[in-house]
């Protein structure tokens, strides 16, 4: 099991842009600094604020008009998904990669599966065929690069489920699963910045990225908490349209720095975010709405965010010890 969980060396998300595999996770004692606790508290306050004002924002007249406009595109959601994912897979095919820029095509059958996945998106009845092809590609990436790295792209599991469920009785859950697994991907990526901040700091120095007045160390920590919080609100169903818009803006900004590799790597994510922008919170009730009293909702959001942070961080560090 560990052989398949952990590759010979860890392939990290930041390594799209920097060739340095000598980093390992810090121990928890060095991660839990006063700065870490401070920005954790700020993040919890923002999450509480978002939970409280979520309904109030939707009732605003100006916001309601925007939401009504976005709702008009709901009938085209599947078409947008098919076109967006298809173009993303074609970009990967043209650049000799699959699923991610670092997953290089080294066998003829990977080309075949990628082409089958693209063809399957041309017709609604062929979507399960595309789902099977992407599932085999994801399994191959997990076996070749390790499940640890494949978790960065866990949203593909959501895409696979969506392709199988969107045309049958499970359709109502398809978008919710897509939200949840995309949120988990973002949350997992944030652990890289929290536990190995030096890697991202090297990236900042190498590309001379602005840190907006913060120290490099603090900027990386803030970015990690933002990524984790955005992943968490996608899982919960809080302000998903705002989250999708914010993430799209961030990815478009980073494209101006990192260029075509960023376009190939994030094209499918942009498609999902566009779907989230159209869909909003999704058909099923958001997780935090299971509790009616506002104080219980707030408690649910905060306590489970802390549990998610602790569990993911412990898992990330544990895997790296082997």
| Angstrom distance (rounded) from CA 6 to CA 220 | 25
User: At 98, is the secondary structure helix, strand, or coil?
Assistant: strand
Asked whether residue 288 carries a pLDDT value surpassing 70, the answer given is: no
Higher pLDDT, 4 or 179: 179
Note the pLDDT tens digit of each residue in 214-263.
Answer: 888 899 999 999 999 989 988 887 777 777 777 777 777 776 666 777 78
CA proximity to 278, closest of 69, 34, 33: 69
**22-24-29-33 Cα dihedral, nearest 10 degrees:** 70
pTM: 0.87
Asked whether residue 115 carries a pLDDT value surpassing 80, the answer given is: yes
| Angstrom distance (rounded) from CA 210 to CA 194 | 19
| Angstrom distance (rounded) from CA 306 to CA 310 | 6
Asked whether residue 206 carries a pLDDT value surpassing 80, the answer given is: no
Query: pLDDT class for 287, splitting at 50, 70, 90?
Result: low
The helix (H) or strand (E) run that includes residue 244 is helix 240-258
Residues in contact with 37: Cβ distance below 8 Å, sequence separation at least 6, in sequence order = none
Q: CB–CB of 99/139 below 8 Å?
A: no
Report how far apart, in Å, the C-alpha atoms of 232 and of each of 238, 243, 275, 305, 306 are.
Answer: 9, 10, 18, 7, 10
Query: pLDDT class for 2, splitting at 50, 70, 90?
Result: very low
User: At 293, is the secondary structure helix, strand, or coil?
Assistant: coil
The helix (H) or strand (E) run that includes residue 17 is none
Kindly provide the b/e burial profile for residues 81-96, where b requires at least 16 CB atoms within 10 angstroms of the residue's own CB.
bbebbbbbbebbbebe
| Angstrom distance (rounded) from CA 40 to CA 159 | 31
| Angstrom distance (rounded) from CA 259 to CA 142 | 26
DSSP class of residue 259? T
| Angstrom distance (rounded) from CA 226 to CA 187 | 9
Mean pLDDT on 146-165: 90
Note the pLDDT tens digit of each residue in 14-50.
Answer: 455 555 555 677 878 888 899 999 999 999 999 988 8
Residue 199 sits at the vertex; the CA angle it makes with 198 and 205, to the nearest 5 degrees, is: 85
- Please provide the distance, in angstroms rounded to a whole number, between the alpha carbons at the two ends of the chain: 12
Report how far apart, in Å, the C-alpha atoms of 81 and of each of 114, 123, 184 are.
Answer: 17, 12, 20
Bridge partners (DSSP) listed for residue 104: 97
Asked whether residue 292 carries a pLDDT value surpassing 70, the answer given is: no
Mean pLDDT on 203-207: 77
| φ/ψ bin of 285: left (φ > 0), alpha (ψ from -120 to 50), beta (otherwise) | beta
Q: Percentage of the chain surpassing pLDDT 90?
A: 35
């Amino acid at each position: 099991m560990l052989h398949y969980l952990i590759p010979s060396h860890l392939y990290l998300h930041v390594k799209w842009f920097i060739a340095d595999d000598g980093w390992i996770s810090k121990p928890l004692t060095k991660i839990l600094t006063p700065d870490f606790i401070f920005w954790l508290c700020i993040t919890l306050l923002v999450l509480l604020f978002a939970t409280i004002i979520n309904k109030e924002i939707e009732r605003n007249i100006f916001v309601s008009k925007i939401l009504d406009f976005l709702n008009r595109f709901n009938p085209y959601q599947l078409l947008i998904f098919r076109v967006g994912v298809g173009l993303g897979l074609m970009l990967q095919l043209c650049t000799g990669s699959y699923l991610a820029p670092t997953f290089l095509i080294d066998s003829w059958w990977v080309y075949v599966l990628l082409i089958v996945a693209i063809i399957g998106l041309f017709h609604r009845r062929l979507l399960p065929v595309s789902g099977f092809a992407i599932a085999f590609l994801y399994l191959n990436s997990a076996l070749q690069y390790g499940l640890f790295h494949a978790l960065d792209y866990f949203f593909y599991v959501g895409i696979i489920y969506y392709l199988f469920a969107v045309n049958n009785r499970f359709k109502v859950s398809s978008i919710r699963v897509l939200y949840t697994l995309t949120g988990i991907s973002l949350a997992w990526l944030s652990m890289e910045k929290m536990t190995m901040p030096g890697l991202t700091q090297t990236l900042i120095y190498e590309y001379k990225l602005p840190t907006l007045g913060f120290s490099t160390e603090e900027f990386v920590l803030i970015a990690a908490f933002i990524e984790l919080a955005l992943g968490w609100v996608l899982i919960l169903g809080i302000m998903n349209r705002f989250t999708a818009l914010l993430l799209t803006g961030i990815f478009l900004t980073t494209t101006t720095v990192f260029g075509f590799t960023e376009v190939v790597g994030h094209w499918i994510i942009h498609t999902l975010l566009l779907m989230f922008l159209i869909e909003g919170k999704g058909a099923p009730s958001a997780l935090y709405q299971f509790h009616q009293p506002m104080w219980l909702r707030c408690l649910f959001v905060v306590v489970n965010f802390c549990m998610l942070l602790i569990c993911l961080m412990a898992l990330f560090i544990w895997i790296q010890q082997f």
